[in-house]
Amino acid sequence: MAFFLETLFGGLMAGMLYSLVALGFVLIFKASGVFNFAQGAMVLFAALAMARFSEWIPQWLGIESLLLANLIAFALAGLCMFAVAWLVERLVLRHLVNQEGATLLMATLGITYFLEGVGQTLFGNSIYQINIGMPKDPVFILDGVFQGGILINKEDLYAALIAAVLVIALSIFFQKTGTGRALRAVADDHQAAQSIGIPLNRIWVIVWCVAGVVALVAGMIWGSKLGVQFSLATVALRALPVIILGGLTSVPGAIIGGLIIGVGEKLSEVYLGPLIGGGIEIWFAYVLALVFLLFRPQGLFGEKIIDRV
């Protein structure tokens, strides 16, 4: 039982990180009705900015405190993501209002390559480390209940807690604020939202700023765990099964989908992997997503769209 719980907790923590990346997709889709292929590039760009600023700030300002340097680096990286959001709206989205979804989709592909290229130009293309002070030593819990206790990685635990707080805050933002309701209205119908006075351009800037902050937090956590390198952009691919399971329009769905994927990957690798030769963790999520696409394409919490003619 202790080993099962240890695997379960590991899956839940990984699932929270998947949910964090998936939230970026959900945020953009809810505001523009388009799947944002640039989310992985945004995570990479934000992680590069955070890593390089945290390296440069002590040299520029002579700061010795790791916490203060990271706070300043986080603020500067956040400003970079706000600048990206403003440029995306000003140079791309503003000119594509009321265009077909495929047109907006192709625009996000262009943004992807732009961010990857600019990130490499501004911050370099080496492998960088982000040290945000999270403890990396494992800890044993419930040792009074199970012999030897349950091994938990402190870094994973802190990362999961950060992701959980951000997810809860975003859920409240969408459900309880006027801006959140305006975002949902824009996603449903651009022209109808404009007709009742919702400023479409401002809404898009806001949602891309929020998605940029989500990408920054995700990039900071994944960069701390894995190092910042250009393969980090592919972390968005790990979130695709999450949004298929949870639904592309649902913030709670991104959370539940991430937890299901995280736990399913860990348990299947541990208990089914030895029976079929291992490697099941790599493709388990995509097979599960394929099953959902066949039988429930809108996901667990997504909205079923019915067109009447």
**Residue 87 burial class via C-beta count within 10 angstroms: exposed 0-12, middle 13-18, buried 19 and up:** middle
Please, are residues 142 and 150 in contact by the beta-carbon 8 Å criterion? yes
Coil, helix or strand at residue 139 = strand
Ramachandran angles phi, psi of 279, nearest 5°? 80, 5
**DSSP code at position 189:** -
Q: Residue 79: its pLDDT value, please?
A: 94
In angstroms, the CA 106 to CA 273 distance is 38
Q: Token match 């968005």: residue?
A: 236
pLDDT tens digits, one per residue of 30-85:
776 777 888 888 888 998 999 999 989 888 888 878 888 888 999 999 999 999 88
The pairing of strands 150-153 and 138-141 is: antiparallel
| Residue 227 tokens, joined | 């190092």
Q: Residue 117: its pLDDT value, please?
A: 87
CA distances from 51 to 36, 66, 133, 136 (A): 24, 13, 13, 18
In angstroms, the CA 280 to CA 267 distance is 10
CA dihedral 3, 4, 5, 11 (to 10 degrees): 110
Q: Residue 188: its pLDDT value, please?
A: 67
**Residue 157 burial class via C-beta count within 10 angstroms: exposed 0-12, middle 13-18, buried 19 and up:** middle
**Residue 147 burial class via C-beta count within 10 angstroms: exposed 0-12, middle 13-18, buried 19 and up:** exposed
Please, are residues 219 and 263 in contact by the beta-carbon 8 Å criterion? no
CA dihedral 189, 253, 47, 125 (to 10 degrees): -80
In this prediction, the residues of the chain whose per-residue pLDDT falls under 50 are: none
Q: Residue 53: its pLDDT value, please?
A: 92
**DSSP code at position 302:** P
Q: For the chain, where are the alpha helices, taking DSSP H only?
A: 2-32, 39-61, 66-91, 101-123, 154-176, 178-188, 190-195, 200-226, 235-246, 251-267, 273-276, 280-295
Q: Which domains does the chain have, with CATH numbers?
A: 2-295 (1.10.3470)
| Residue 288 CB partners (closer than 8 Å, separation 6+) | 241, 245, 260, 261, 264
**Residue 174 burial class via C-beta count within 10 angstroms: exposed 0-12, middle 13-18, buried 19 and up:** buried
Cα–Cα nearest to 131, from 63, 21, 225:
225
CA distances from 244 to 7, 119, 225, 279 (A): 24, 29, 25, 22
Q: Residue 80: its pLDDT value, please?
A: 92
In angstroms, the CA 214 to CA 206 distance is 12
